[in-house]
Structure formats: structure tokens, C-alpha cells
Structure 1
Amino acid sequence: MPDDPPLIQSLRTAVAAAPADVPLRLHLAQLLLDAGRSDEAVTEAAVALQHAPGDTQARELMVRAMGAPAPSPAQPPAQRRGFDWQAAEQQVGDVVPPRFVEAPVRADGQDDSAGADAWDVEAPGEVRLDDVGGMRDVKDRLEAAFLAPLRNPELRKLYGKSLRGGLLLYGPPGCGKTFIARAVAGELGAAFLSVSVNDVLDMWIGNSERNMHEIFETARRQAPCVVFLDELDALGAKRSRTAHSGMRNTVNQLLTELDGIESAANEGVFVLAATNVPWDVDNALRRPGRLDRTILVLPPDGPARETILRYHLRDRPIENVDLGKLVKSTEGLSGADLAHVCEAAAERALLDSARTGTVRLINMKDLLAAAKDVVPSAEPWFTSARNVAMFANEGGMYDDLVAYLKKRRKL
């Protein structure tokens, strides 16, 4: 402070340079107390106690600064007055953070306040399948396998169409599987509960299974609700390849929850899942009655690429952009790749403006150069998928993938 004597100013500077130096801070507190500045002395003593909670000198100095008499050395320990932590916390509450900020958890690591309602359930959204650009084949399969029977209960009853099981979306990363799942929830007017491996797995034995059960319990209370299992290969990995019993038990619990999909308790609960590697998913999860409907989500087609590019360029300053030419130049790129193309083009224009000192708009040259530099992120996935399609297409599970690879002459 400007009005401090030179010695106190010097000590404040030294304390600021070495905040963990308890003797130095106590020396400053003693000088402040001698100068009649008790409140400042209390603050410095309290900070010293944060660094050294058992320091006797710091405690005695704080007691004297707060106006209480220091304990006599000759007084027997049993008769000494204990340090009043409550009074000290009230005195320096606006300076020193509280010692305890969280309620203790139980011995198994489970917070007593956490229950099934702790999961974040999104209200029915406004995203519909019409908001998904292109992908007509995916939309048609969704309509036939999932949406049409739900929208027409009388026809479903007439034709004996069952609602057993769930829907598995698979394909290369960055192609919009999560967005499609949200669109399905919007079509159903249902709440959306997204579940990842971090939401389920727990270090304590039994908690992962309990988490899985509570997720489905939450969905039942919030029905109609879409439960979206993201990265299913992590949540439902093949048990034959899983060495840890806890992970196997989690898969078993997921199977139990999926087995109850058509029961009365699960009315209005719809299960969708997504994975990049369906061949790593436990086979039991894909048997009839569970995730028995499978849809391949491929890199966006032409209309989808145009929609995605329009979306990512809508708020950017552009000029003379030929979307038709750009769409042709970005064939094979995923939705994430297209977003990167727009970002990279904006960076080129920004750097050029910074170097020249003249602001210019993003043009076609920027976008084409960015598209040329982007390596399709889906290619490594197709390399792995090709081997699966050739040698592990048991029961025609990957016929749609085989057809696509033949169409692209990659098989």
C-alpha cells in the first residue's frame, strides 16, 4: 500500500515474491500488529496457516491479532483454550477460501446426492431429418426400419411390425452419425440422452453397472426418450477380448437393459447407437431384439456436401463462390473435413489480409486450395473396412458396405 512504512513495503514485496515463505509472512504480520493494523495481521496469519496448518507461532499471532489473550506457556495443555476456527473463518472469509468445499463421498466413491436424475436429458429438439442434407438412402432406411412403424401404430399392428430392438449407425468418423441420431429424436418429438464411455465407467466395482441401469431408468422416466450410445465399441466391446471382469459386467448390464426394450416398463424408450468399428462390438448386442437394425452412414453425397458447405460459410465474408464446383472438388470428404476446408480457407484470407494490410474476402481460390490440402479422413477407415467386408461378412452383415466399396472400385 502507498502509505506503508518502507520496512513494511519491503516485506510486502518479499512476501509477494515468495508467498510460501511462512516465517517471512509472519514477520510481516507481526509488524502490522505492532502498527495497530490488526485486520491486516489476521489476514497474513491466516494465509500462513494455509501453508503451514500446524504452525504454533502463526496460531498464537492470529489469536493476538483477533484480540484474544495468548495462552500462557505455564498453563497445562489440557486447560488451554483451543483455536476457534469458526471465528477465524468468519474474520477472513473474504480472503481465504473455505477449508471444505465438497460433501464427503461414501467409501465406494458414490456421491449420496447423485441419483438417476443426475444424467443430462435434452428436451425435444427442433432438428429434423429434413435438416440433414442429402443422404437420401440413409433417410429412406430410417423411415422404413424405424420411423414409419412408430408414426403409424395402427398399420404397425395390422402388419405385425415389431418395435423390438434398436438401431446401430456405423461408418467412418466425422460423417454425422450423432447429428442423425438427434434428427431421429426430433422426428419422434422425444427427449435425447447421449451416453459415452465416460458417463458409465467407474473405478469402483459395481458402479459402472449401476450407472448403466440409472441411465435407462432416467430414460424411462423421461419417455418418450432416445438413448444414444456413442462409441458403442467402447461401451460394448467384445467380451472375448476383454480381460477386465468389470468391463464384461458392464456389457452384461447393457444386454440386460436392451432385453427389456419391448416390455411395458420401456414403452417410449428408443435406443440408437453409433460406432466407427462395428466389428469390435460384442456379437450379442447385435442379435435380434437388441441393436438388430444397422445403417451405414457414409461420407456426405453431393447435396449433403453443398448443405454442409453453405452452413460453414454462412457467417463468413465470401465472394464469387461457385458451390457446384466446390462440391465436385470435395468428393470423399467427411462433414468434419468440409468444416476444416472452410476454416482453412478463412485462415488463408485472414493471413493475406494481415500481411498486405488490406482486408479481402474469402474467394474460390482460397477454398479450392484448402480442399486440395485436406486429406480425406475416411480413407484409413475404408482400408480397414475393406478387409472386414472381404473376409468377415458373416450372414451378409456388411452387404451395404460391400456394395459401396464395389461402386467405388475399392473391392
Structure 2
Amino acid sequence: MLDDAGLQALREAARLSPDNLPLRQHLAGQLLAKGYLGEAEAEYRAALVLAPKDAGIMAGLAEAFVRQSAYGAALAALEPLLASPGYPPKVGVLAARALLGEGDTARAGYRYHEAVSRDPSVGDADLAARLSAPPTPTYGTTPPPAPPAPPASPYGASAPSGQSYAAPVPPTGPAYATPAPTPVDGATAEVERSKLNFADVAGMEAVKESLRVKLLLPIQQPDLFAAYGKRAGGGVLLYGPPGAGKTHLARAAAGELGASFVNVGLADILDMYIGSSERNLRATFELARRNRPCVLFFDEVDALAARRSDMRQAHTRQLVNQFLAELDGVDQNANEGVLVLAATNAPWYVDVAFRRPGRLDQPVFVPPPDPAARAAILRLLCRDKPLAEMDFDAVARVTDHFVGADLKGVVDRAVEVKLQQSISAGRPIPLSTPDLLAAAQSVRPTAVREWMATARNYVMHSNDSGAWDELLPWVKAKW
């Protein structure tokens, strides 16, 4: 609520004359000057609709973002201006403030000094002091003491911009106790420590063995793999029907290794401003590199890595290009110790470039569980509950086409019924086989049949490259 009569009058005038661009721009500038940042942002957005290419409006919106610490949004707003030769020096200073807020000291210093060299009047003493500290040593002088080195990592985590760490001492054994998570400006995903391991994943022995060989052993036995020129790191694409346990498997892989785990959601990457999504993706990879060994997990990766031939807008194709560039790394060792796991229910929608060697070139099918795997899943789901004598094999036989998520639904439903009985009896009543059988009758498998029908179409009619030969035995079975 504005408590300034002059601003209230200006806002009312803008409301009565919504297409008056000078009035709306003046109102936005007054709001910004008096610290009403949210209201100023809204007015600048409205003005930008009337004049999409107005440099003053874009700069005002960017300043509102910077003062609200929304540095990524500010850089996205300034990007069209910075791409034009001879942009106003004030814009360069604004970009420097945003870049410094994102932790990019080098680029911030370049933008600031370039702007001030063209117009000294735009100089900002406070910003200049922040950019020059700590001072950079010159040749022939004694350098200041180096900042303390981070805890030693088997891979030597990269130092933040503007700092130089002493090289970490190479480990004498496979010591994979990762240091405390290192934050990265611009990354919204969080570093976790998974408490799961492969013992918590029922069945899927072939899939676990594949992950062990492709991802875990190069880190657990680095000397042996180095003898063959194999580096730790790489990418695997997990695909299969919904609910089959792809996310659970990724967490277990991180726990098996004792590595950091970064679970990347779409909200951590996608942004409404052009250029911000690519910046978020770069920051997420940098977060994984600073916390290696690390399992970087992208769920529903087809939303970030869709086929570029299906896209109509250039900025969505640019996100795919950025993803490919991050997978390659700036040099051959950039992603060493970073294990990229991606999961999708629709692998045929992922751009074919991701299957190039060195990227997500190792697709692993996560199948629906067979009867033995379903029994093992049920045992895990029921292990912390009061139980009578159980025949999990009998329940597994009547839950054909159920995936792990469906089986969890069966157990949850049986527990709800048993809780009601226990409340009435005043004591815990153990779960029994008939309870699970009764719950299984009331739960229908979710999406395996539909997924297999879709997979059959691709395997039988769009598989000239042989990419989906692994699915042939499954789609030919009766589903």
C-alpha cells in the first residue's frame, strides 16, 4: 500500500490512461527511486508491453531486479542491451552489479571497467571497492596468504571465481567422504546425502550391476580403470514405465558410492526469462562439480532435452544446446567425478545428440518388476511394520503388471484398514497376507500397459537405428 500521496495520484492517472507510456515510465521511475521495488517492477513490466525495445524501460526493470537480489532475472533483462554495440555505460554498471551478485567477479570487473572507461561519471565507489577486494597480486611482489584450502577431494573441486586454492593432496586410498556441500550462486537445487543403497532396491539386479560397472566402479577403483584410460564420471539414461523406481535407483546409486546427490527438478532450471534457464543449468552443473564425487540426477529429462527438430522457438533449442555443452564440459576432465543420471518415461522424445558417446550414451531400461522382484519390494515396504506370518510370494502372484509405486499403494491401503482395526481394538494388530491380498484387489496397476503399448509402436515401427532393441523381448510379450 503506497503511503505517498503523489505516487497515489500518479498511479490513479496511469490507471485511467493505461496506454500513456511516458506517464507509466515516470511512475515506475518514481516508485523505484522511493524504494517500492515490487510496484516498480510491475509498472516497468506494463511499460515494456507498450514499448518492448525501449532501452530505458529494460534498464529500469533490471535495476528493480538487482535491488531485489534477483540477479539472474536482471541479467536476462539486460541481455538484449548488452548485445548491442555502444550500449549506455550505466547499463554496463548495472550488469556488473548483477554479475557480482551471481558470484562472477571476473565478468563483473570487465563490465564495470569498460563502462567507466567510456563515462567516468557512472562510477560507483562501493561497487569498485567490492570488485577490487581481495587485491590481485602483481609479479615481483609478495602475494597475500592464500585462503584456506577446502577439504581434500579425490577430484580437486574447482575454486570459486577470484580465488586460487592450493591443489589438494591426492588421496592414498578410495576415501570418498565428501566435504560439506559447496553452494553456487544461481543454483536452486540442493546437495543431499542419500541414506539409501542398493540393498534398499528390491530386484533389478541386472540394472544395478549395469550401474555398478558404468558409474560406481570407476570411482571405487580408480587405479584399475585409469590403466585402461577410463575416467570416473559419465552419463546414463534410465528409462521405463512410470513408477518403476528410476528415482529410487538414482538415490541408491549415490548412497552406494557415498557421494553427494543433487536431484534437479524442472523448477530448478526452467525460467520465464530468455537466457535464465541456460544460466540455471550451468549453475547446477557447477554445483555438482564443486561437490564431487556427485550424482547429478535429472528427472523427466525429456522436458529439458527434447528433440530440437520438434521445437519452434530458438530459445528452447538453446537450452538443449547448453545441456549438451555442459555434458561435454569445458575440457575433458571438467566432469570427472560427476555422474549424470537422467530418467524419462519417453526416451524417444530425447534429442538424438544426447546419445553421442560421452554424454547420455548408455541407456538402461528399468523394467516392470517380475514376481520375485515384486515379492522383494513388498518385503522392503513392510519391514518396519508389525507383521504376522506373511506369504509375499502369494501377493506377488496376484499383482501382475504392478510397479513399485503400485505396490506401495497396496501396502498403504492395507495399513489404513489395519490402523482402523487397531484403533478399535486399542492395540496394534499385525498385517497379514489376507490384508495385502484384499488391498491388491482394490488397486489397479497404473500405466504399464499403456506405456508398453506406446513402446511397442516405437520399437516395431520407428527403430531403424536399433536404439530400442533392448525392449523387443518386453513388447513382444503379452501386456
Tell me the TM-score normalised to structure 2 length: 0.59
1:271 corresponds to: 340
Flag the 1:262–1:383 CA change in 2: closer, same or farther, 3 A.
Answer: farther
Per-residue Cα deviation, 1:5-46 (whole angstroms, up to 9, x for no partner) = xxxxxxxxxxxxxxxxxxxxxxxxxxxxxxxxxxxxxxxxxx
Aligned AA (1:109): A
Aligned AA (1:395): S
Q: Distance in 2 between matches of 1:358 and 1:181?
A: 38
- Give the one of 56, 68, 73 matched to 1:104: 68
Gaps of 5+ in 2: 6-65, 76-97, 104-183
The reply to whether residue 298 of structure 1 matches residue 262 of structure 2 is: no
Per-residue Cα deviation, 1:243-298 (whole angstroms, up to 9, x for no partner) = 23222111110011011286223221121110000001111111112100010001
What is the SS of the residue equivalent to 2:334? helix
Q: Distance in 1 between matches of 2:226 and 2:192?
A: 29
2:457 corresponds to: 387
Aligned AA (2:68): P
Flag the 1:299–1:53 CA change in 2: closer, same or farther, 3 A.
Answer: same
Aligned-residue CA RMSD (Å): 3.1
1:400 corresponds to: 470
Q: Structure 1 runs of 4+ off > 6 angstroms?
A: 352-359
- Give the one of 389, 395, 418 matched to 1:326: 395
The answer to whether the Cα contact below 8 Å between 1:319 and 1:362 also exists between their aligned partners in 2 is yes
The answer to whether the Cα contact below 8 Å between 2:299 and 2:343 also exists between their aligned partners in 1 is yes
Flag the 1:188–1:358 CA change in 2: closer, same or farther, 3 A.
Answer: closer
Flag the 1:114–1:376 CA change in 2: closer, same or farther, 3 A.
Answer: farther
Q: Distance in 1 between matches of 2:451 and 2:283?
A: 34
The answer to whether the Cα contact below 8 Å between 2:219 and 2:337 also exists between their aligned partners in 1 is no
Residue pairs, 1:212-361, within 5 angstroms: 212-260=281-329, 263-350=332-419, 361=430
Aligned AA (1:186): G
Per-residue Cα deviation, 1:186-208 (whole angstroms, up to 9, x for no partner) = 23322111112111011111111
2:235 corresponds to: 166
Per-residue Cα deviation, 1:335-392 (whole angstroms, up to 9, x for no partner) = 1000100112233345567899998554333321221222222221111111111112
Per-residue Cα deviation, 1:108-150 (whole angstroms, up to 9, x for no partner) = 6359656634434434434222321111111222233333333
Flag the 1:334–1:110 CA change in 2: closer, same or farther, 3 A.
Answer: farther
Q: Distance in 1 between matches of 2:290 and 2:72?
A: 26
Give the count of matched residue pairs. Answer: 315
What is the SS of the residue equivalent to 1:396? coil
Q: Distance in 2 between matches of 1:141 and 1:335?
A: 20
1:375 corresponds to: 444
Tell me the TM-score normalised to structure 1 length: 0.68
Specify the structure having the higher radius of gyration (Cα): 1
* More contact order relative to length (CA 8 Å, sep ≥ 6): 1
Q: Distance in 1 between matches of 2:329 and 2:384?
A: 46
The answer to whether the Cα contact below 8 Å between 1:196 and 1:235 also exists between their aligned partners in 2 is no
Flag the 1:315–1:144 CA change in 2: closer, same or farther, 3 A.
Answer: closer
Q: Distance in 2 between matches of 1:129 and 1:212?
A: 29
Q: Distance in 1 between matches of 2:70 and 2:441?
A: 56
